[in-house]
Amino acid sequence: MRRTVHAAATTFFFAAISVPVYAVTDGSGDPAPAKQDDGKWFDKDGNPTFKVDEDGTVDWYTYSGFIRYSSECLRCHGPDGMGSSYAPALRNSMKRLSYPEFYGIVAGGKKDVSSAQELVMPANGENKNVMCFIDDIYVYLRARADDAIPRGRPEKHAPKPDSFTKAEDACMG
């Protein structure tokens, strides 16, 4: 029964949120925004990215990423992606992780075990509070890795697009 529920939830999730597959293998690449779709920015390779205006205003998805990171990831990875004694600094990891690698680790988890340490990242593939906002978390951490935004809550952000609310409602159920 549990597998049936998981399979149904996974099918619904992927049907509601389109997850593009990219052939990026050399880290996050150039984060410069190249195009946007209703407030959501993408780099030249089609990966989600951030946009910060000259006055410091961030796009909605970067702001949402800060909120979601702070509620779901901060307890292990520290404030603003700076790391902790418990988990690595994602701000540094994002300099080498591609979007598909980031997505895979967050959804499926990761385990690094050696004779000196045991680091375990739990799988969040069934956590809607993470997976429904995975792009937002990614662009927030990408902005932090690129030093495009400082530590703390972004002071100014673009308004929330209607498409964000629709996607959130569809994913969260």
Q: Is the pLDDT of residue 10 over 60?
A: no
pLDDT above 80 for 13: no
pLDDT (average), residues 141-164: 95
Q: What is residue 141's predicted lDDT score, i.e. its pLDDT?
A: 96
How many Å apart are CA 53 and CA 41, to the nearest integer? 13
The CB-side HSE value for 164 (13 A sphere, CA atoms) comes to: 19
Residue 103 vs residue 27, higher pLDDT: 103
**Can you name the residues that pair with 41 across neighbouring β-strands?**
36, 49
The mean pLDDT value for 36-62 works out to 96
Answer whether residue 118 shows pLDDT above 90: no
* Cβ 48 vs Cβ 39: under 8 Å: no
| Per-residue pLDDT at 9 exceeds 50 | no
Question: Per residue in 6-38, is it b (16+ CB within 10 Å) or e — as a string?
Answer: eeeeeeebeeeeeeeeeebeeebbebebeeeee
Kindly report whether the global pTM for this prediction surpasses the value 0.95: no
Across the chain, what does the average pLDDT equal? Answer: 84
Nearest CA among 126, 140, 154, 158 for reference residue 8: 126
Query: What does the chain come to in residues?
Result: 173
Report pLDDT for 128.
97
| Number of domains the chain is built from | 1
| Distance from chain centroid for Cα 162 | 20
3-state secondary structure of 121: strand
Q: How far apart are CA 154 and CA 160, in angstroms?
A: 14
Chain center to CA of 34: 19
Residue-range definition of the domain harbouring residue 164: 2-172
